């Protein structure tokens, strides 16, 4: 109810200042405008895909490292996770944008965004995977060991597959956060959706309309992922209920 009232007040203010006039929205009925924004969306999805794959792989190893019986490995994995979760992503982007080039490391624009996002999201994925592993009964790994598997084989073939199934809704929810973080690509001038919106609004002088359209695109993308996560969570609850 409160949200509906706030939305109504916002629309009333926009209408009062002429922001809802048909002439201001006419450019967004043209394909070239949408094509320009969709290229930015493609860049957003590309960056998110790279970050998701790399973060998931790194997250598995970090989770295993944090659960390792080797003290040094456990300390290193724990230290990385705690530091990466504490540092602001924007600060890490500034490192790739300014600090690395000063020492001769100049990454492509995509990786100036993807690398810091991977550093941050790997820690988040690691905690999700670790929670999934710890949620399994100990009998799962013990049964695998009794069949003659090594601990590594038991983890790879028995524990990890089940843990991933248990935490799939959380993984999808993390993808929503990851997709939103790609909007920081405007800092490095990477061609993602928000950066394209900034350029377009500077060109057509339709700031409100442009960013409302971009907001709608983000709502569709993130809303779809959230819906998938919700359905997966409900399905998981029915399976284990």
Q: Is the pLDDT of residue 237 over 90?
A: no
Q: Which of 99-113, 154-168, 210-224 has the lowest mean pLDDT?
A: 154-168
E strands, 108-154, in order: none
Q: Which of 9-13, 41-45, 147-151 has the lowest mean pLDDT?
A: 9-13
Any residues with CB less than 8 A from the CB of 24 and at least 6 apart, and which? 18, 206, 208, 209
Q: Is the pLDDT of residue 5 over 70?
A: no
Q: Average pLDDT, stretch 3-21?
A: 66
Q: Which of 2-16, 78-92, 140-154, 179-193 has the lowest mean pLDDT?
A: 2-16
pLDDT (tens digit per residue) in 71-89: 999 999 999 999 999 999 9
pLDDT (tens digit per residue) in 38-70: 999 999 999 999 999 999 999 999 999 999 888
Q: Is the pLDDT of residue 16 over 80?
A: no
Q: Average pLDDT, stretch 154-159?
A: 80
How distant, in Å, are the alpha carbons of 11, 12, 102, 122, 123 from that of 17? Answer: 10, 9, 47, 45, 45
Structure tokens at 129: 């995977």
Q: Average pLDDT, stretch 157-177?
A: 86
Q: Which of 80-89, 107-116, 151-160 has the lowest mean pLDDT?
A: 151-160
| DSSP designation for 187 | G
Task: Look at 13 and 77; give whichever has higher pLDDT.
Answer: 77
Q: Is the pLDDT of residue 138 over 70?
A: yes
Determine the pLDDT at residue 135: 85
What CA–CA distance (Å, rounded) separates 116 from 18?
41
Range 14-52 burial, b when 16+ CB lie within 10 A, else e: beeeebbeeebeebeeeeebeeebeebbebbebbbebbb
Please state, for a pLDDT cut of 90, what percent of the chain lies above it: 43
Name the average pLDDT for the chain.
Answer: 86
Please classify residue 8 by burial: count the beta carbons closer than 10 Å to its beta carbon, then call 0-12 exposed, 13-18 middle and 19+ buried.
exposed
Q: Average pLDDT, stretch 13-30?
A: 75
- Count of C-beta atoms within a 10 Å radius of residue 3: 7
Determine the pLDDT at residue 91: 92
Q: Is the pLDDT of residue 15 over 80?
A: no
Q: Which of 6-15, 162-171, 181-190 has the lowest mean pLDDT?
A: 6-15
pLDDT (tens digit per residue) in 211-236: 889 989 998 988 888 888 878 777 76
Q: Is the pLDDT of residue 240 over 60?
A: no
């Amino acid at each position: 109810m409160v949200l509906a009232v706030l939305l109504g007040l916002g629309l009333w203010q926009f209408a009062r200042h002429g922001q809802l006039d048909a002439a201001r929205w006419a450019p967004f009925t043209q394909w070239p405008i949408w094509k320009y924004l969709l290229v930015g969306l493609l860049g957003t999805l590309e960056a998110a895909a790279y970050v998701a794959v790399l973060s998931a792989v790194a997250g598995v190893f970090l989770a295993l490292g944090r659960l390792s019986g080797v003290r040094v490995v456990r300390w290193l994995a724990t230290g990385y996770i705690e530091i990466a979760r504490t540092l602001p992503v924007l600060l890490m982007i500034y490192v790739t944008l300014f600090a690395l080039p000063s020492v001769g490391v100049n990454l492509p624009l995509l990786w100036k965004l993807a690398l810091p996002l991977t550093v941050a999201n790997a820690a988040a994925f690691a905690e999700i995977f670790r929670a999934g592993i710890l949620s399994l009964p100990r009998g799962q790994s013990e049964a695998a060991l009794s069949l003659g598997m090594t601990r590594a084989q038991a983890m790879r073939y028995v524990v990890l597959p089940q843990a991933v199934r248990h935490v799939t809704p959380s993984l999808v929810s993390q993808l929503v956060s990851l997709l939103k973080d790609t909007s920081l690509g405007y800092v490095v001038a990477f061609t993602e959706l928000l950066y394209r919106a900034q350029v377009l609004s500077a060109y057509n002088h339709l700031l409100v309309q442009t960013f409302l359209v971009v907001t709608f695109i983000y709502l569709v993308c993130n809303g779809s992922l959230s819906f998938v996560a919700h359905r997966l969570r409900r399905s998981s609850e029915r399976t284990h209920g």
